[in-house]
Each structure stands twice: as structure tokens, then as C-alpha cells.
Amino acid sequence: MSGQGGVVKNKWDGIVPPECRPNPAILKLDADLQWVEATEPLHADIVNVTCGIGP
């Protein structure tokens, strides 16, 4: 879930806790279907919507 922590006024503050820093052993499949090193927020390139109810 992209940007669910550290969101202030609908904008992610960019602060990543030390335990969430990138690890070269952890990969993700990006929007271009390429394997890349996983970084927070994980789904920033795939989902760009705000949480809420309804369409």
C-alpha cells in the first residue's frame, strides 16, 4: 500500500525507518515488468490513488 505511513496533508513525508531500508536480496516486479530492488513505498509506480470509500 503506497504511502500509508508518514502521510501528512495527503503527501508522503519521505521518511523511511531504518528497518524498512532497501535490501539487495529483496526484489519487486515494477510497472514495466522488470525485477528491481524493492524500496518504500513499494507500489508507488503501480498505484497512485488515495484510500477512501466509493469510486
Q: Which is more confident, 12 or 1?
A: 12
CA 23-11-45 angle, 5° bins: 50
Task: Report pLDDT for 14.
Answer: 76
Nine-digit cell string for 24: 539487495
Task: Report pLDDT for 54.
Answer: 64
C-alpha of 8 from chain center = 15
Span 2-55, pLDDT tens digits: 445 566 777 777 777 777 788 899 998 888 899 999 887 777 776 666 666 766
Task: Report pLDDT for 5.
Answer: 56
- Please report how many Cα atoms fall inside a 13 Å half-sphere around the Cα of residue 2, on the Cβ side: 11
